[in-house]
Structures are given as structure tokens and as C-alpha cells.
Amino acid sequence: MSLDRDRLKAAARQAAEASYSPYSRFRVGAALLASDGSVITGTNVENRSYGLTVCAERSAVVQAVSRGLRSFTAVAVHCPDSDEPVAPCGACRQVLSEFAPPETPVLCVGRSGELETTLGALYPFDSLQELKGR
């Protein structure tokens, strides 16, 4: 299955529009490409207790798993309030690595820039992947 980067980035962009970010005003949308070809989206949901905030990437993973999808082949993150592309945070990298291999493409989009990398490049010492190899 080929990766339709434009479709995935557009889904992340649309998801960012649903962001609930009244405190930071930093909208984020994420789109996961599941191994069956479906695209599942999520957005960040803030709380006045910042520790309870949910990132867009984890929001998308929770939606996907709730639908029975547990294998992802790509992820896109769109931050319309950032000039530069923003990669998933450490917690999101950890959660994504539970369901996607290191070679999974990660597409990061800001207002005026894009970055494409892999989950393995963002999270190089993933003990879960090491354990799976044993």
C-alpha cells in the first residue's frame, strides 16, 4: 500500500480545527494511517490542569484502538499555530511505538515548513521494539 502523504496531512490539518486549546492557543491535529488503509484522526484537548491535557497523537491512537485498529503505517502531525513543523512529544513517541515499527513515516507540518522523519529516528532506543526482537 502506497502512502498518500497529501491525504494524511490534509486529515491532520482538518483535525487541528477541532482542537480544544483555550490555554495555550496551540492547535494540533494528528492523523494515523492504519494498516487496513483507514485514516484515524485526533486533536489536542487541553485542561486547566496541564498534566491532564491529551496530545493529538495520543487522541488518535485511543480512537483507533477503540475501533479495533492496532497497527499503523504512518502518522501526520499538523500545527497551524507554529511556523516550524513540530514533532510528537516524548510521551506520544512512546505510545506510537507501541503500535508502529521504527520505519513508520512521521510527517510534521507547520505553517511554513514540513519535516519527514521516521518513528525510529525520533525514538531510537525503543526498549519495546528490542523486546519484540527477542
Selected catalytic residue, list 46, 57, 84, 98: 57
DSSP summary character for residue 25: -
Extract the C-alpha cell encoding 91: 510521551
Give me the CATH code for the 5-132 domain, please.
3.40.140.10
| pLDDT, tens digit (0-9, with 9 covering 90-100), for 65-119 | 999 999 999 999 999 999 999 999 999 999 999 999 999 999 999 999 999 999 9
Residue-level pLDDT at 125: 81
Confidence label for 6 from pLDDT (cuts 50, 70 and 90) = very high
Residue 126 has pLDDT above 90, yes or no: no
Q: How many Å apart are CA 106 and CA 86, to the nearest integer?
A: 11
Please say whether the beta carbons of 58 and 92 come within 8 A. yes
The pLDDT of residue 130 is above 90: no
Rounded Cα–Cα distance for residues 97 and 127 (Å): 10
Question: Amino acid letter at 14?
Answer: Q
Q: Please compute the mean of the pLDDT values over residues 49-59 and round it to a whole number.
A: 95
* Amino acid (1-letter code) at residue 75: V
pLDDT at 44 over 90: yes
Is 103 known to be catalytic?
Answer: no
pLDDT at position 3, please?
Answer: 87
> What are the residue boundaries of the structural domains of the chain, listed by start?
5-132
Q: How many C-beta neighbours within 10 Å does residue 37 have?
A: 9
Whole-structure pTM value: 0.92
User: What cell was used for 119?
Assistant: 518513528
Q: What is the pLDDT of residues 9-25, one digit of tens each?
A: 999 999 999 999 999 99
88 or 51: whose pLDDT is higher? 88
Instruction: Give, for 91, the enclosing helix (H) or strand (E).
Output: helix 90-99
